[in-house]
Structure 1
Amino acid sequence: MNGNGPRGNGTPIRVALLGCGTVGGEVVRLLNEQADELAARIGAPVELAGVAVRRPHKHPELPEGLLTTDAAALIGRTDVDVVVEVIGGIEPARTLLLEALKSGKSVVTANKMLLAEDGATLAEAADASGADLYYEASVAGAIPLLRPLRESLAGDRITRVAGIVNGTTNFILSAMTASGAGYADALEEATRLGYAEADPSADVDGYDAASKAAILASLAFHTRVTAADVHCEGIRGVTAADIAAAAALDCTIKLLAICERVPGGPQGDPESVSARVYPAIIPRSHPLAAVDGAFNAVFVEAEAAGQLMFYGQGAGGAPTASAVLGDLVAVARNLVVGGRGPRESSYASLPVRPMGAVSTRYHVSLEVADRAGVLASIAGEFARKGVSIAAVRQTGGGQIPLNGESEDEARLVVVTHGAPDAALAATVEALSGLDAVRGVDSVLRVEDLGRSVSALGVPG
């Protein structure tokens, strides 16, 4: 069934489910509990044709006749109309979904990693066969975000998508802010409560958010952006001292995914796309600062619509299953009436701007010798690299050994105006070589996200 012609009245929509873990189990539950309502909304009943799992004995809640370990055979069945994939990862998911799409079966997936790495191949297969490809659940769980980007704002020009798209890191940073705990203690608490996996690398190193940023940028800017195009930094290096320094400025630290349409430059530089993930200082006055725990929130800015905020549960079995079911309803309706969902839109094909050319503000914390001329030498390095200083604060103090004697030390916090990332990196390297600089403790980006950062002494 390729979806090009309408279904007969009352003919069931048959679904093959790949994976039955936390999300898949919730999909099955919702399909069963809401069967009558779903049939009324769609115009036809939805039935499970089969569920592919690795260990059938782990699923006594499902009828034995539905379970199979042969996912390829399941999607190859002629009575299957839609394939729902919630197994994750690249393979075998890619091979299975490509086979489904090539045979004309529509696909609903929550697989952000696969979409961020090779979504274009899936989209091309869907286009070639006339099948649908839906993936709302791949970003921000239950929050309806991708469909508004792809459909509701299709008549507008989106300029920026930015926000918190990883619940684990937001929980950790929120815990550090609330209690003053260090990163390791906050991660331990997140693991104990089930917010962090046994191996949290994908979350805390920013890879999960980077995959989502690639999907968001692709949709928002009609350009194919992959995870490899996204600059990615995690939160392992964020310390309790960084959190305290941000609080002293009436700010907080969040791991942000930022996707921007960058206008062309006066020297003939082409319009481009920037996609990046990193921990950033943001003012407490911004709504994102109040997003705590495992929640997600994303701001979308468009030329006509202005600024829109999407907020809610960004992960979890039931919230993610809600998004999967929403896509399944859309796909099933298309099958019933003989329609097709939106196709991939990559006509703009904008270049991805390298991180070194992206301009942001910076918060640089240094341990320095407290003696005459130090500030001038530090300011000189910033100036030589073309980075303008907006504000300088001195905190702390103590004694450090120097050639067998003691010398006073101080902590300097330098906040800059906007500067290219490459210029800031060169500045930090130069500062590290100064005799008076004992160490560059931290470098954090400052994002105002369109609002004033007067708390930092920097005009908005």
Structure 2
Amino acid sequence: MAEPLKVALAGLGTVGGGVIRLLDANRALIERRAGRPIEIVAVSARDRNKDRGVDITRFQWVDDMTALAEIEGVDAVVELIGGSDGPALTLARKTLGAGKAFITANKAMIAHHGLSLAQVADAQDIPLKFEAAVAGGIPVIKGIREGAAANEITRVYGILNGTCNYILTTMEKDGRDFTEVLGEAQALGYAESDPSFDIDGVDAAHKLSILASLSFGSALTFDGVATTGIRNVIAADISEAQALGFRVRLVGLAEEGEAGLFQRVHPCLVPMSHPLAHVTGSLNAVVAEGNFVGRLFFQGAGAGDGPTASAVVADLIDVARNEYGPAFAMPVESLAHPERADSGERTGRYFLRLTVEDRAGVLAEIATAMRDAGVSIESFIQRGVKEDGGALIVLVTHACPERCVTDALKRMQGSSSLTGSPMLMHILDL
């Protein structure tokens, strides 16, 4: 049997504890699959004395987690502390600089600094692995980077944030509004005390930028992801979508074509016939479309100690086998740098919810704005009088360039007829 792969672990939270438990529970199986033992030899976290439900006294404790990279004999460092900068980034740079394998679940760091880290890994021919950074336990990165490597992938999209999906599907099931369901999600541990990264779409945007780079062979461009979260989705949006044959999901979508690279995270109306409409609770799902393989659909748990630890240890097994390639499927210098596609030229159908005063002339004003902007209305719904005396109007447009819908909203901006901010959602006609 070959020498053990010796691992240093930074971060002993939910996932870090899960990695230790997984390695303990499946030790013999992992050793057979890896061709050699995988052993944690050193750990670091903020609090040495915290009870984590696992025995860490058998490991060397290091107060300064960035010093894990310097421990003699360590072959690989696993980073599970999070944050795009700070100690996580310092540890990554020191580990790769020391010629050691680096494994992380940190999507924010990869989205912001993945290219510079990959350049170091490429130059030294050492592994930089991050399967756990996107969609938790779903092996989507390996599936795209390796399983679909022979394909030209033209589109990748999916449900990339379990917190948002839990909130939206609970609103759908119970008919409750966003704020109430968010509070429940926080109480159950599905949402953080500060949920901004999740509900504002930032977490999903980090993951989408990574998927786009792997799918299209393009340089990471997190700043190029147009991002809108779910704060403004109300129960009426959910119910009206259902009545029209759709479900509301936060969808990250990236496409590459002649117009450039398009990346967006936005609440969408997903047809009941599409697999994403049936992804419920905190599950994640990713769809990749290849020119020879067709549509690939990945679904599973996107977070949690078990699924995320599973992805981390899978990366460790690859390192133990000495099976790895460039972090982004090709050397960094081979990655393309496409222009950012103009979203205004994208053609599609749209769902538009308006809250308006219930008085004569309002519908004519809306119709005029739509007509002048070149937007044709496919369906129109008005739901009675609200408690505040206003009315709720829902429009579904025929397919048209996005700039036309944006122009229509600008024409209505400032109108005394509107009593609330409009809600615009894209219809996923894929």
TM-score bucket (shorter structure): over 0.9
Deviation at 1:317, TM superposition (A): 0.6
Q: Distance in 1 between matches of 2:360 and 2:46?
A: 68
CA contact (8 A) 1:432 1:440 kept: no
| Percent of matched pairs sharing the same residue | 43
For residue 424 of structure 2, what is the amino acid of its counterpart?
L
Deviation at 1:396, TM superposition (A): 1.6
Q: Distance in 1 between matches of 2:132 and 2:204?
A: 14
CA separation of 1:368/1:290 partners in 2, compared to 1, >3 Å: closer, same or farther? same
Out of 413, 417, 425, the residue aligned to residue 398 of structure 2 is 417
Deviation at 1:82, TM superposition (A): 0.8
Out of 314, 328, 338, the residue aligned to residue 316 of structure 2 is 328
Give the aligned partner of residue 77 of structure 1.
Answer: 71
CA deviation map 1:343-402 (0-9, x unaligned): 43353322222444444422112344666765444233223223333222333247998x
Gaps of 5+ in 1: 1-8, 265-270, 402-408, 451-460
Give the aligned partner of residue 267 of structure 1.
Answer: none
Aligned length: 423
Where does 1:56-71 land on structure 2 (aligned, <5 Å)? Answer: 56-59=48-51, 61-63=55-57, 65-71=59-65
Q: TM-score, normalised by structure 2?
A: 0.92
Q: Which has the higher Rg, Structure 1 or Structure 2?
A: 1
CA contact (8 A) 2:40 2:59 kept: no
Q: Distance in 2 between matches of 1:411 and 1:150?
A: 46
Q: Distance in 1 between matches of 2:170 and 2:386?
A: 30
CA separation of 1:44/1:384 partners in 2, compared to 1, >3 Å: closer, same or farther? same
Deviation at 1:106, TM superposition (A): 1.0
For residue 12 of structure 2, what is the amino acid of its counterpart?
C
CA contact (8 A) 1:362 1:443 kept: no
Q: Distance in 2 between matches of 1:370 and 1:19?
A: 56
Q: Distance in 2 between matches of 1:352 and 1:385?
A: 24
CA deviation map 1:195-225 (0-9, x unaligned): 1111111111111111111111111111123
Give the aligned partner of residue 160 of structure 1.
Answer: 155
Give the aligned partner of residue 396 of structure 1.
Answer: 384
For residue 430 of structure 1, what is the amino acid of its counterpart?
R
CA separation of 1:301/1:449 partners in 2, compared to 1, >3 Å: closer, same or farther? farther
CA contact (8 A) 2:65 2:87 kept: no
Give the aligned partner of residue 325 of structure 2.
Answer: 341
| Correspondence 1:439 to 2:427 | no
CA separation of 1:38/1:233 partners in 2, compared to 1, >3 Å: closer, same or farther? same
| Correspondence 1:23 to 2:15 | yes
Out of 236, 253, 277, the residue aligned to residue 289 of structure 1 is 277
Secondary structure at the aligned position of 2:46 is classed as: coil
CA contact (8 A) 1:101 1:126 kept: yes
Q: Distance in 1 between matches of 2:388 and 2:162?
A: 41
Give the aligned partner of residue 149 of structure 1.
Answer: 144
Q: Distance in 2 between matches of 1:30 and 1:369?
A: 58
CA deviation map 1:233-291 (0-9, x unaligned): 11111111111211221221111111112x32xxxxxx411111111111222221111
Out of 260, 266, 278, the residue aligned to residue 272 of structure 1 is 260
| Greater mean alpha carbon deviation, residues 31-40 or residues 440-449 | 440-449
CA deviation map 1:273-317 (0-9, x unaligned): 111111111122222111111111111111111111111111001
Where does 1:61-460 land on structure 2 (aligned, <5 Å)? Answer: 61-63=55-57, 65-90=59-84, 91-261=86-256, 263-264=257-258, 271-334=259-322, 340-344=324-328, 345=330, 346-368=334-356, 374-397=362-385, 410-434=391-415, 437-439=417-419, 441-450=421-430
Where does 1:24-43 land on structure 2 (aligned, <5 Å)? Answer: 24-43=16-35
Q: Distance in 2 between matches of 1:147 and 1:340?
A: 10
Secondary structure at the aligned position of 1:149 is classed as: helix
Deviation at 1:417, TM superposition (A): 2.6
Q: Distance in 2 between matches of 1:292 and 1:246?
A: 16
Give the aligned partner of residue 453 of structure 1.
Answer: none
Deviation at 1:126, TM superposition (A): 0.3
Q: Distance in 1 between matches of 2:69 and 2:387?
A: 69
Give the RMSD, CA atoms, in angstroms.
Answer: 2.2
Deviation at 1:177, TM superposition (A): 0.5
Q: Distance in 2 between matches of 1:27 and 1:216?
A: 24
Secondary structure at the aligned position of 1:92 is classed as: helix
Secondary structure at the aligned position of 1:57 is classed as: coil
CA contact (8 A) 1:242 1:442 kept: no
CA separation of 1:109/1:253 partners in 2, compared to 1, >3 Å: closer, same or farther? same
Secondary structure at the aligned position of 2:405 is classed as: helix
| Greater mean alpha carbon deviation, residues 64-73 or residues 77-86 | 64-73
CA separation of 1:69/1:356 partners in 2, compared to 1, >3 Å: closer, same or farther? farther
| Greater mean alpha carbon deviation, residues 85-94 or residues 354-363 | 354-363
Secondary structure at the aligned position of 2:36 is classed as: coil
CA contact (8 A) 1:360 1:445 kept: no
